[in-house]
A and B are shown apart, each in its own frame.
Chain A
Amino acid sequence: MPSVGRSIPHESAAGHVTGTAPYIDDLPRYAGELVVGFVGAPFAAGRLTRIDTTRAKKLPGITEVLTAADLPPAAAPRFGPIFHDEPFLPTDEVAYLGQPLVVIAAENSDALALAKQAVTIEGDPTDPTLTIDQAIERDRYLGPIRHIRRGDAEVALKQAPHTLKGEFFCNGQEQFYLESQATLAIPEDDGNVRLISSTQNPTESQVVVAEVLGLPYHKVVCECPRMGGGFGGKETQGAIPAAMVAWIALRTGRPTRIVYDKTLDMCITGKRHATKAWYRAGYDDDGTLLALDVTFVSNGGAYADLSTSVMERTMLHADNAYFVPDIAITGKIARTNLPPNTAFRGFGGPQGIVVIESILQDIAQKTQRDAFDVRRRNVYGHDARNVTPYGQRVQNHVLPELFDAMETRCDYRARKSAVEKFNAESRTHLKGLAMTSVKFGISFTTKFLNQGNALVNVYTDGSVQVSTGGTEMGQGLNTKVKQLVADEFGIAPRFVRMMTTSTEKNHNTSPTAASAGTDLNGQAALHACTQIKARMAEFAAAQFADESRGLTPSPEHVRFADGVVFDERAPDRRLPFGDFCDAARRARVDLGARGFYATPGVDFNRETGQGTPFFYFTTGVAAAEVTIDRFTGDLVVDRCDVLMDVGQMINPGVDLGQLYGGFIQGVGWCTAEELCYGDEGQLLSKSPTTYKVPNATDTPRIFHVNTFPNPKHTINVRWSKAVGEPPLMLGIAPFLACRHALSFVNPDRLPPLNLPATNEALLMAMVAMRGSSGVDCAKNTKTSRREVPSK
């Protein structure tokens, strides 16, 4: 029985539930192991004048106290995944609060804590740039300005019967992986070092560590056994702590470990980009979009990190699932004094999608039409209205079908009437109902990253080890690859073992990101299996050949299934797979192979803003109903229905987990997760005490998540589709349901509601929409607290 398509448990599930699956901080301590921490910049912007470490060095139990001055001469001054603009340890200019300056290695954490307090850092702080608006005012940007255009949006806007002009702000989001950044460095002989790291990108860790320490790459190996969550936050951000421990390990010859505590992690690592959009949309009486001009500016933080790629994806998702004839999309990145913002599930997509979904909601309110109808009218078609602003055709999709199916499944019309009736009657609560969609492009928009490699070793008892460059962070990549490989050899998945990801076995790999982990690594593993099987079939054909029965040797007829090998022309003769492998080895058949895969056909020219950045799209729709307390703004997400085309699922249990989890993470971004900063650039919401990710009781009481068949999708590994990121963007549905609810407060005003729709934001929006209600004290929120624009 093939295992692809079955919900076998996550490969580490037994280890998870018993607590025996180790994470970095759980690995046994080595004798003589050092613990590492650092002292960060005491201000967010300005010059350093003095770093005094003499007292710290003298403390008992302190092994190393290092600054940039101690770096080897060969060290690269700057690193970065796209632009090399970030220093490992800055020498004179500080770019964000808490930026690492002094690295300390200690015998134990008591000594470390003491030594941190003994370091003196002095400098000339300057007024930090924290918000997008401040950066615009000060003309501080990162990377080039990009455009994607089709037709002439200006002219079309002039000709459109109606136009809508607005501004939208969405706040950032903390990844809040439960396992914070952590790396263990083990020195090896001859100046080599092995890193065991919680990273989505072992290759990047290897490269950055080598560069900032002035080593050739081959002296560094980076492994990742598993992560306690990543969500994009471990794509680049693990490099600095990894460099710290590698450095100490090489200097001292002692194993060295760093594990951030949660607050430190939240304060100094990058997050989802806060993004502001200015738009003008043109539409007709029916709510059909005619033109859109939108400019996005994201808060990139202090260094480029992945910001340009993230912005690219924002721009490539400005259309979402909707056809806009004339469109002009502009993207810029504000350079501020926050930690460099980075990848987070959706990678800029959510910031693009939420804008057009809001625009459509507002158009519905303006035209007094149902928002579902407005969206349905604008959705990409099959034969016409099916080309994206960047020139890629949307094909083999089921977008209109998804809309129509959801309309009936969630009983949209009846519930919409019920909501209207409720709002007319209730003095205490408001309800809203909205349906949104997602069309998420799958592939890295940077072409070269669309590759993967895998190593498959078959042993003489028929058991198999598989190594890929993909990392396991809970998303089930390893489980799926294991199923793919098991089916290739016709054996049960338990005879396939997924090995620790290591740059020693799989090198020059891409980050496990862009939802493409299974697509790339699964294909690469299959490629390796194909090679081994070809050799096996050759050998088997000779074994099964039987002149007496008229069977000539025929590799094409060799089958691997149900744990046996046979010639399908004479299936009565079956060799157990294990025995067969043993015999093959004795006949000197090579039972191992390295596979490689490069996604075909993807290419995007970011200079012209045109091309085919995506191999295919993962699509879906969601409907959400919310209730808001008119007196307190308290929001309850009552019901959510999610319907997605995710192709043929390799493991439905795993994929559904991605749908549920991704959706709820999106709801968190849209409702309760609020990053607040102080005037000095200090994060105020810096632990789960003040940063509220969704709780078990926030999961909607009614929560239907289903998949939708798409027989037209016949590409990608086993006809599956990537599922990791897309559902997150359906979490926008409850946000728009809030806007729908608010529209009942005053149908003549568009709700002044940005994202997230916290209880506070909802209450204050209701107050604003009603017009001042004796709100004599309601002066503006102190602006330093959050980045809230007027709308």
Chain B
Amino acid sequence: MTTTPPLPSPPADDAIRFALNGRLIDLAGRDALRPLSTLLRDRLGLTGTKVVCAEGDCGACTVLLGRPIDGTSQREERFDYRPVDSCIVFAFQCHGAHVVTVEGLHPTATGCTRQTRDKTNKPGTEERHDEVAGPCHNALTVIQNALVHGHGSQCGFCTPGIVMALHALRERGRDLSESSVRHALSGNLCRCTGYQQIFDACEALKDVQDIATLDDTYDEPALLQALTKNQGQGITLTAEVPCSLTLEGEGRSEGESHRGQERNGQSHKDQSRNGKTHDGASAERWMHASSLPTRTVTLRLPGTLDEALAVKREHPEALVVAGATDAGVWHNHGAPWPDHVLCVTALPGLSACDNNGDTLALGGGATWDTISDFLAPHFPALAEILDRFGSPQIRQLGTIAGNLANGSPIADSLPFLFVMDAAVEARSSSRGSRRIPVTSFYTGYKQNVLEPDELIAAVHVPKPADHERLHLEKTSKRRDMDISTFTAAIRLTLDQTGNTIETAAVAMGGVGPVVVRLPNTEAALKGQPFSEDTMRIAGQTARHEIAPISDVRGSAPYRFQLAENVFRKAFHQWNETPVMT
């Protein structure tokens, strides 16, 4: 690993390159495969970023991931910074981006402005009482300063993550009002404060205009130039990872081979290429790993979709990594690396959303944040659900293809796509594209009809017709940052009078191994008066079409009851008349 200030030699095609707090980082070998938080903390000694859960569910590890935006003029060239959970971002996903950690908010400042204002360092000569208590290692940003003085931290362990989430808000030009801050912090858990003093500290900044943004701090055009030079060109790198679950002289798990010897050779090469790291001690800690049995993982970062498809044909068993909001969690839970990894994060040509007349095309690589903005005008109900999808951090990275491919029965997009009769566009390099109705995409628990050489290129959603009613339900233990216990989508078209149901589509998740359409329930709705009684009957019918289980998120009886009740809830919401006699 090398870190250099810009502008360096052009990037190699067997290393990834990103900027970290204004400095360029070239990574090869295993470092590229590490979670970003591990790289920061253990390899670079940047311990300001904390790790609590390592599964995207607390936000303590929040950093800013800045991707280049194409500006029309050079002055507009800058980075678009988004908050991400660094524990489930692989270092390789940062290729071409600018990562900013809490250490990078104020990299140039050395002294604390407040302390230098105090002329004396001895009690008795002059007294000031507006001091910042404690050591000032760094100047504080306006936001940090507000938190310090507003008692926005107690134990402080969540605080760097919260600071980064708040800065993300500023980077996107949003205000720091309480409602905006509540939303922005819905991916950051704090166990100490109850959040209120954080809200209050921010509220006081609501009208402050001159909160510096990162383009004031960094020479972004220079960074962009250094990062985007070889854009569009694929990268292949290999990494030696320790063999998991396989012990010397014991049975080997598939795809693993012992390379102890080679690994030693490799490690010397690594060492010389690595040069010095920020933290000698932590490098030392990792160096000893050389004696463990290892195997080779090949990582590809294609420059184009075609290249990605070619890799997928060559290595159908490759793990595709898009946002890694699922894959990163699997990794941290101990899933071994497969021999091949294909990174499609932010791949050009995979993430665009298009309005194609009757249908809306969502790029497979489109993130939930993008999709929410794109679909909100057509499906306000969906925007509401997506607002609660994961957390702000998850929505910046998680993609629709990842959600579909993972195929969890509680995936939040599925009931919607099921009732909309959406089509999944699968593409392979040899056979091109085909469209699969989403309702026939799954064959069993997390099983789908995708061929091994295919990628999900897009999802096509028909536009809603007039007189349509759509209700989406996401039930979870906690409103935000919680996987659903139960999901449902109810889509009805009414006749001209609005009194009779013409067509009905109903889908539910969390009620069996896969998301299901409920044909009997749909039949019970079709042709019936649009009334609460119809809804009641539909609910009772639905009970007989599902087979939920009891698990940590909820009991089977609860899920049955939700399935029954959701119809009447939808009816009342559609009528927007909560008050009835």
Binding site for B on A (CB under 8 A): 1, 3, 6-23, 25-26, 28-33, 35, 55, 58-61, 107-108, 110-111, 113-114, 117-118, 176-180, 226-231, 261-262, 425-429, 461-463, 473-476, 479, 482, 489, 491-495, 562-564, 575-580, 629, 631-632, 634, 636, 653-654, 656-657, 660-665, 672, 674, 676, 684-685, 687-690, 692-699, 703, 705, 758-760, 763-764, 767, 774-782, 785
A177's nearest neighbour on chain B, judged by CB, is B191
Is the CB–CB distance between A14 and B140 below 8 Å?
A: yes
Q: Which of B54-62, B349-357, B398-406 contacts A (4 or more CB under 8 A)?
A: B54-62
Is the CB–CB distance between B48 and A764 below 8 Å?
A: no
Is the CB–CB distance between B157 and A426 below 8 Å?
A: no
15 contacts between A and B (CB under 8 A): A8-B133, A10-B133, A20-B48, A111-B292, A117-B245, A177-B155, A425-B580, A491-B127, A631-B566, A690-B552, A696-B190, A703-B196, A760-B558, A763-B562, A776-B543
**Given A29-B285, A59-B247, A699-B195, A21:B475 Cβ within 8 A:** no
CA distance A560 to B572 in the complex (A): 70
Digitize B147-190: 1 where CB-to-A-CB distance is under 8 Å, 0 elsewhere: 11111111111111001000000000000000001110110111
Q: Which of A475, A674, A688 is close to B53, meaning CB atoms less than 8 Å apart?
A: A688
User: Does B251 reach chain A (CB closer than 8 Å)?
Assistant: no
Contacts of B196 in A (CB 8 A): 660, 664, 699, 703, 705
User: Does B71 reach chain A (CB closer than 8 Å)?
Assistant: no
CA distance A475 to B198 in the complex (A): 16
User: Does B499 reach chain A (CB closer than 8 Å)?
Assistant: no
* Whole-angstrom distance between the Cβ of B195 and the nearest chain A Cβ: 5
Is the CB–CB distance between A31 and B155 below 8 Å?
A: no
User: Does B137 reach chain A (CB closer than 8 Å)?
Assistant: yes
**Given A30-B281, A31-B284, A177-B191, A781:B131 Cβ within 8 A:** no
Is the CB–CB distance between B557 and A781 below 8 Å?
A: yes
Contacts of B286 in A (CB 8 A): 108
Q: Which of B140, B185, B243 is close to A18, meaning CB atoms less than 8 Å apart?
A: B140
CA distance A758 to B552 in the complex (A): 13
A174's nearest neighbour on chain B, judged by CB, is B191
* Whole-angstrom distance between the Cβ of B199 and the nearest chain A Cβ: 7
Contacts of A23 in B (CB 8 A): 50, 157
User: Does B134 reach chain A (CB closer than 8 Å)?
Assistant: yes
Is the CB–CB distance between A16 and B159 below 8 Å?
A: yes
Contacts of B127 in A (CB 8 A): 1, 491-492, 562-563
* Whole-angstrom distance between the Cβ of B527 and the nearest chain A Cβ: 23
Digitize B544-576: 1 where CB-to-A-CB distance is under 8 Å, 0 elsewhere: 000000111111111011101110110011000
Digitize B335-369: 1 where CB-to-A-CB distance is under 8 Å, 0 elsewhere: 00000000000000000000000000000000000
CA distance A631 to B563 in the complex (A): 10
Q: Which of B125, B285, B578 is close to A426, meaning CB atoms less than 8 Å apart?
A: B578
Contacts of A474 in B (CB 8 A): 153-156, 192
Digitize B188-222: 1 where CB-to-A-CB distance is under 8 Å, 0 elsewhere: 11111111111100000000000000000000000
Within 8 A of A (CB), among B458-508: 473, 475, 477-483, 485
CA distance A201 to B194 in the complex (A): 25
CA distance A35 to B288 in the complex (A): 12
Contacts of A482 in B (CB 8 A): 133
Is the CB–CB distance between A20 and B289 below 8 Å?
A: no
Contacts of B156 in A (CB 8 A): 10, 12-13, 15-17, 21, 226, 228, 474
Is the CB–CB distance between A14 and B137 below 8 Å?
A: yes
CA distance A785 to B554 in the complex (A): 9
Interface secondary structure of B, over-half rule:
loop
Is the CB–CB distance between A632 and B565 below 8 Å?
A: yes
**Given A428-B578, A764-B561, A781-B555, A631:B58 Cβ within 8 A:** no
CA distance A33 to B137 in the complex (A): 27
CA distance A22 to B147 in the complex (A): 18
User: Does B69 reach chain A (CB closer than 8 Å)?
Assistant: no
Is the CB–CB distance between B475 and A759 below 8 Å?
A: yes
A775's nearest neighbour on chain B, judged by CB, is B561
Is the CB–CB distance between A690 and B140 below 8 Å?
A: no
CA distance A562 to B579 in the complex (A): 64
Is the CB–CB distance between A475 and B154 below 8 Å?
A: yes
Given contacts A33-B281, A687-B53, 4 further A-B contacts (CB under 8 A): A18-B106, A425-B581, A492-B127, A694-B195
Is the CB–CB distance between A763 and B561 below 8 Å?
A: yes
* Whole-angstrom distance between the Cβ of A412 and the nearest chain B Cβ: 22
User: Does B132 reach chain A (CB closer than 8 Å)?
Assistant: yes
Is the CB–CB distance between B182 and A697 below 8 Å?
A: yes
B569's nearest neighbour on chain A, judged by CB, is A631
Instruction: Give the number of chain B interface residues (Cβ < 8 Å).
Output: 124
Q: Which of A6, A9, A577, A672 is close to B132, meaning CB atoms less than 8 Å apart?
A: A9
User: Does B448 reach chain A (CB closer than 8 Å)?
Assistant: no
Q: Which of A19, A427, A692 is close to B578, meaning CB atoms less than 8 Å apart?
A: A427
Within 8 A of A (CB), among B271-293: 279-282, 284-286, 288-289, 291-292
Q: Which of A16, A33, A491, A661 is close to B285, meaning CB atoms less than 8 Å apart?
A: A33
* Whole-angstrom distance between the Cβ of A152 and the nearest chain B Cβ: 43
User: Does B94 reach chain A (CB closer than 8 Å)?
Assistant: no
Q: Which of A11, A60, A428 is close to B133, meaning CB atoms less than 8 Å apart?
A: A11
Is the CB–CB distance between B285 and A696 below 8 Å?
A: no
A678's nearest neighbour on chain B, judged by CB, is B552
Q: Which of A1, A685, A695 is close to B186, meaning CB atoms less than 8 Å apart?
A: A695
Contacts of B478 in A (CB 8 A): 672, 692, 694-695, 698
Is the CB–CB distance between B123 and A463 below 8 Å?
A: yes
Is the CB–CB distance between A178 and B281 below 8 Å?
A: no
User: Does B45 reach chain A (CB closer than 8 Å)?
Assistant: yes
Counting chain B CB atoms within 10 Å of each CB, the highest count among A108, A177, A473 belongs to: A108
CA distance A468 to B557 in the complex (A): 54
**Given A429-B578, A767-B561, A779-B557, A19:B49 Cβ within 8 A:** yes
CA distance A33 to B280 in the complex (A): 12
* Whole-angstrom distance between the Cβ of B442 and the nearest chain A Cβ: 23
CA distance A760 to B552 in the complex (A): 12
CA distance A735 to B135 in the complex (A): 42
Q: Which of A110, A660, A777 is close to B197, meaning CB atoms less than 8 Å apart?
A: A660
Is the CB–CB distance between B292 and A695 below 8 Å?
A: no
Is the CB–CB distance between A15 and B124 below 8 Å?
A: no
* Whole-angstrom distance between the Cβ of A455 and the nearest chain B Cβ: 20
A659's nearest neighbour on chain B, judged by CB, is B194
CA distance A177 to B126 in the complex (A): 40
Contacts of B55 in A (CB 8 A): 687-689
Q: Which of B105, B140, B191, B243 is close to A176, meaning CB atoms less than 8 Å apart?
A: B191
> What are the 3 A-B residue pairs with the smallest beta carbon separation, nearest first?
A19-B48, A474-B155, A576-B124
Is the CB–CB distance between B192 and A661 below 8 Å?
A: yes
A55's nearest neighbour on chain B, judged by CB, is B247
CA distance A18 to B147 in the complex (A): 11
Is the CB–CB distance between A676 and B133 below 8 Å?
A: no
Contacts of B579 in A (CB 8 A): 425-427
User: Does B128 reach chain A (CB closer than 8 Å)?
Assistant: yes
Is the CB–CB distance between B151 and A10 below 8 Å?
A: yes
CA distance A426 to B197 in the complex (A): 34
**Given A562-B127, A697-B183, A229:B191 Cβ within 8 A:** yes
User: Does B119 reach chain A (CB closer than 8 Å)?
Assistant: no
CA distance A664 to B197 in the complex (A): 12
User: Does B138 reach chain A (CB closer than 8 Å)?
Assistant: yes
Q: Which of B57, B134, B248 is close to A12, meaning CB atoms less than 8 Å apart?
A: B134
A764's nearest neighbour on chain B, judged by CB, is B558
**Given A61-B289, A775-B561, A178:B129 Cβ within 8 A:** no
Contacts of B41 in A (CB 8 A): 25-26
Contacts of B449 in A (CB 8 A): none
CA distance A493 to B134 in the complex (A): 9
Q: Which of A179, A692, A779 is close to B157, meaning CB atoms less than 8 Å apart?
A: A179
**Given A10-B151, A563-B124, A695-B481, A687:B189 Cβ within 8 A:** no
Is the CB–CB distance between A29 and B154 below 8 Å?
A: no
CA distance A722 to B553 in the complex (A): 37
Is the CB–CB distance between A15 and B137 below 8 Å?
A: yes
Q: Which of A230, A576, A634, A674 is close to B475, meaning CB atoms less than 8 Å apart?
A: A634
**Given A114-B242, A695-B479, A13:B124 Cβ within 8 A:** no
